[in-house]
Amino acid sequence: MEFKVYKDVNEFYDATYDLLMCDEAQNLIPLGNIIIGKKGKDKTGWRDPANWFMATVSDDNGIQLVAMMTPPHNIALYTRDNKIDEVAVACLMAELADMPLPGVIARKDIALHFAQTYCTAKGMIYETEMDQRIYELTEVNPDIAHIGTMRLAEKSDAYFIPYWLEAFYSSGTYGKTTMSIPQDIEIFLARIEEKRLYILEHEGKPVSMAAIMRDMQTVCGVGLVYTPPYFRGKGYATSCVAKLSQIILERGFTKCALYTDLANPTSNSIYQKIGYRPICDSMMLKFNKG
């Protein structure tokens, strides 16, 4: 096995893109990251490739394992044909040496195998941050009831969007379980200016939101789906995600993809009614001292 670390995101992109594209929707995170890095337009925070860990493990048949970490986020792993290659994992482990890892995100079986191997070697323990399911949609269910109208978020929405986003993040989706009062409006205005955040309005009121996340070759991600508690149970989230999914398909993408928390049966049910179908389970595992 040959282990290789990449310092140039363009070289890493060229080496791994075709392999990651074998499971495009599943690899929404690493593919999205290398596309961001290759464009090089935004190098703020974790988006700066100079701080990334990028590596591959190869044999005579080519790359068998892709590893990528954008600190402070977990290391993301993908293995050829989604097979657990114990030799490749052992090779990666040997080369990681004393590099601290916050956790891992990968297809469920691969994440668990790596976490068990890593924690045994390091005398650590792991815990589940999130049990996820990855869904893919090729056609919106025509029987979905469409409520309200969809529009792009605007600067004038800044009176509520920061609070909606904070509420979304504090749900535990990003490891955050407490809500803070937004202070820096600029980060939220930047999100609006990206023209990816959509608002569903009903009877003149904003009632739900969803965003276009990472767009790749044929797949586009959907995320930041949030409806305030007092508007839930009225079909707003279903209509919002259905409308945004249709917008994405009409832009020429053949598929929409999204991640769900398996601990939330309501959202998983909603997405399936819209037309999303599960393609695999994924896990976010956090490493702690034993």
* Reported pTM: 0.89
Report how far residue 20's alpha carbon sits from residue 18's, in angstroms, rounded to the nearest whole number.
6
pLDDT value at residue 97: 76
Report whether 219 contacts 188 (CB < 8 A). no
pLDDT tens string for the chain (290 positions)?
A: 999 999 999 999 999 999 999 999 999 999 999 998 998 877 778 888 999 999 999 999 999 999 999 999 999 999 999 999 999 999 999 998 788 899 999 999 999 999 999 999 999 999 999 999 999 999 999 999 889 999 999 999 988 988 898 888 886 554 455 556 656 777 778 778 889 999 999 999 999 999 999 889 999 999 999 999 999 999 999 999 999 999 999 999 999 999 999 998 988 999 999 999 999 999 999 999 87
Give all strands of the β-sheet with 124-137 in edge-to-edge order: 2-6, 53-59, 62-69, 75-79, 103-107, 277-289, 124-137, 255-261, 219-226, 205-215, 197-202, 149-152
C-alpha span between 186 and 77 (Å, rounded): 33
Q: Provide the pLDDT for residue 186.
A: 75
| Residue ranges of the chain assigned to CATH 3.40.630.30 | 149-274
Which pLDDT belongs to residue 185?
Answer: 72
CATH 3.40.50.300 holds for 149-274:
no
Tally the residues of the chain.
290
pLDDT of 98: 80
Return the CATH number of the domain spanning residue range 2-133+285-289. Answer: 3.40.630
